[in-house]
Structure 1
Amino acid sequence: MSLILLVEDNEMNRDMLSRRLQRKGFRVHLAVDGAQGLTLAQSEHPDLILMDMSLPILDGWEATRRLKADPATAKIPIIALTAHAMEGDRQQALAAGCDDYDSKPVDLPRLMEKMLRLLPLSNNSRSP
Structure 2
Amino acid sequence: MPRVLVIEDAPATQRLIEMTLMLEGWDVLVTSSGESGLEVAESDAPDLVVLDIALPKMDGWQVLKTLRADSATASIPVIVVTAHDTAGSRTPTHSSTADGFLGKPFDVEALRRLAKLEFRKAS
Q: Distance in 2 between matches of 1:11 and 1:34?
A: 15
Map 1:32-43 → 2, pairs under 5 A: 32-43=32-43
Q: Distance in 1 between matches of 2:32 and 2:95?
A: 22
Q: Distance in 2 between matches of 1:47 and 1:100?
A: 14
Q: Distance in 2 between matches of 1:90 and 1:111?
A: 19
SS of alignment partner, residue 90 of structure 2? helix
Shift of 1:90: 3.3
**Residue 47 (str. 1) matches residue 47 (str. 2):** yes
SS of alignment partner, residue 40 of structure 1? helix
Query: Percent of counterpart pairs with the same letter?
Result: 34
What TM-score comes out, normalization by structure 1 length?
A: 0.88
Q: Distance in 2 between matches of 1:89 and 1:99?
A: 15
SS of alignment partner, residue 12 of structure 1? helix
Q: Which moved more, 1:37-46 or 1:105-114?
A: 105-114
For 1:113, give the aligned amino acid: R
For 2:22, give the aligned amino acid: Q
CA RMSD of aligned residues (A): 1.4
Deviating above 3 A after TM superposition, structure 1's stretches of 4 or more consecutive aligned residues are 90-93
Alignment match, 1:11: 11
Q: Is the 8 A contact 1:6 1:30 kept in 2?
A: yes
Shift of 1:24: 1.6
Q: Which moved more, 1:98-107 or 1:70-79?
A: 98-107
Shift of 1:98: 1.0
Number of equivalences: 122
Cα shift readout 1:42-98 (whole Å, capped 9, x = no counterpart): 111100000000101211000000000111100000010001122122346324x21
Q: Distance in 1 between matches of 2:90 and 2:117?
A: 18
Alignment match, 1:100: 100
What TM-score comes out, normalization by structure 2 length?
A: 0.91
